[in-house]
Amino acid sequence: MDLKTLKIQYLEHLEIEKNRSPKTLENYGRYLDRFLGFAKVAKAEDLDEERIRQYRLYLNRLTDTDGQSLKKVTQNYHIIALRSFLKYLAKRGVRTVSAEKVELGKQEDRHVTFLERNELDRLLEAPEGTGLDALRDRAMLQMLFSTGMRVSELCSMDRNKIDLKRGELSVLGKGRKIRLVFLSDDAREHIARYLAQRSDVDEALFIRIPKNKNFSKESDLRLTPRSVQRMVRKYAVKAGIMGKQVSPHTLRHSYATDLLRNGADIRSVQAMLGHSSVTTTQIYTHVTDTQLREVHKKFHDKK
Catalytic position from the list 7, 83, 136, 252: 252
Q: Are residues 264 and 171 in the same domain?
A: yes
Q: Of 101, 131, 146, which residue sits at a domain end?
A: 101
Q: Are residues 171 and 275 in the same domain?
A: yes
Catalytic position from the list 136, 249, 253, 255: 249
Q: Are residues 271 and 143 in the same domain?
A: yes
pLDDT above 90 for 85: yes
Q: Are residues 81 and 135 in the same domain?
A: no
Catalytic position from the list 28, 194, 255, 284: 284
Q: Are residues 96 and 123 in the same domain?
A: no
Would residue 177 show up in a list of annotated catalytic residues for this protein? Answer: no
For residue 190, the domain's CATH number is 1.10.443.10
pLDDT above 70 for 231: yes
Examine residue 185 and state whether it is found in any structural domain, yes or no: yes
Examine residue 42 and state whether it is found in any structural domain, yes or no: yes
Q: Which domain holds residue 265?
A: 117-295
Over range 231-239, report the average pLDDT: 95
266-279 per-position pLDDT tens digit: 888 888 888 887 77
Would residue 284 show up in a list of annotated catalytic residues for this protein? Answer: yes
Catalytic position from the list 51, 87, 174, 234: 174
For residue 58, the domain's CATH number is 1.10.150.130
Amino acid 82: pLDDT: 94
Tally of domains in the chain: 2
Would residue 296 show up in a list of annotated catalytic residues for this protein? Answer: no
Amino acid 143: pLDDT: 96
- Percentage of the chain beyond pLDDT 90 is 55
Would residue 166 show up in a list of annotated catalytic residues for this protein? Answer: no
Would residue 275 show up in a list of annotated catalytic residues for this protein? Answer: yes
Q: Are residues 97 and 122 in the same domain?
A: no
Amino acid 294: pLDDT: 67
161-203 per-position pLDDT tens digit: 999 999 999 988 887 788 999 999 999 999 999 999 998 888 9
Q: Are residues 93 and 148 in the same domain?
A: no
Q: Are residues 248 and 202 in the same domain?
A: yes
Over range 55-83, report the average pLDDT: 88
Lowest mean pLDDT among 40-54, 148-162, 234-248, 272-286: 272-286
Catalytic position from the list 150, 188, 190, 253: 150
97 or 289: whose pLDDT is higher? 97
Q: Are residues 173 and 282 in the same domain?
A: yes
Examine residue 303 and state whether it is found in any structural domain, yes or no: no
Q: Are residues 291 and 146 in the same domain?
A: yes
Q: Of 74, 101, 128, which residue sits at a domain end?
A: 101
pTM above 0.75, yes or no: no
Would residue 56 show up in a list of annotated catalytic residues for this protein? Answer: no
Mean of pLDDT over the chain: 87
Examine residue 90 and state whether it is found in any structural domain, yes or no: yes
Lowest mean pLDDT among 98-102, 115-119, 260-264: 260-264
- Tell me the range of 105-119, 195-209, 212-226 where mean pLDDT is highest: 195-209
Examine residue 107 and state whether it is found in any structural domain, yes or no: no
Q: Are residues 253 and 183 in the same domain?
A: yes
DSSP string, the chain: -BHHHHHHHHHHHHHHTS---HHHHHHHHHHHHHHHHHH--SBGGG--HHHHHHHHHHHHH-B-TTSPBPPHHHHHHHHHHHHHHHHHHHHTT-----GGG-PPPPPPPP------HHHHHHHHT---SSSHHHHHHHHHHHHHHHH---HHHHHT-BGGGEETTTTEEEEE-GGG-EEEEE--HHHHHHHHHHHHT--S---BSSB---TT---TT-S--BPPHHHHHHHHHHHHHHTT--SS---HHHHHHHHHHHHHHTT--HHHHHHHHT-SSHHHHGGGHHHHHHHHHHHHHHHTT--
Q: Are residues 139 and 282 in the same domain?
A: yes
